[in-house]
Amino acid sequence: MPTPANQNPEQKARDQIDAQLRDCGWAIQDKNAIEFNAGLGQAVREYITDSGPADFVLFVDRQPIREFQKQTQR
């Protein structure tokens, strides 16, 4: 899927991360519409944690296993 030309670096990074997570078998989910039955693992965008919002939180069996922030290349 081609990247739209008018995306900022953060949007481009998100698209790349989404594609990589999908390729690894993760179901990409929005924090406001999480469907835990969508697959074995869910990658939830912008999930609120105790330490603030994470760009992604990975869930397996409804349990969070990892949170991370995306990094844009300079």
- pLDDT top residue among 71 and 39: 39
- pLDDT top residue among 7 and 44: 44
- pLDDT top residue among 1 and 13: 13
Domain range for 19 is 9-68
12-27 burial: b if 16+ Cβ within 10 Å, else e: ebbeebbeebeeeebb
Given this model, what pLDDT does residue 1 score?
54
Flag whether 74 is in a domain. Answer: no
Flag whether 4 is in a domain. Answer: no
Given this model, what pLDDT does residue 61 score?
92
pTM of the model: 0.78
Flag whether 3 is in a domain. Answer: no
Domain count, the chain: 1
Flag whether 37 is in a domain. Answer: yes
- pLDDT top residue among 2 and 44: 44
For 55, the token pair is 């760009």
Given this model, what pLDDT does residue 35 score?
92
Flag whether 61 is in a domain. Answer: yes
Flag whether 30 is in a domain. Answer: yes
Flag whether 73 is in a domain. Answer: no
Flag whether 48 is in a domain. Answer: yes
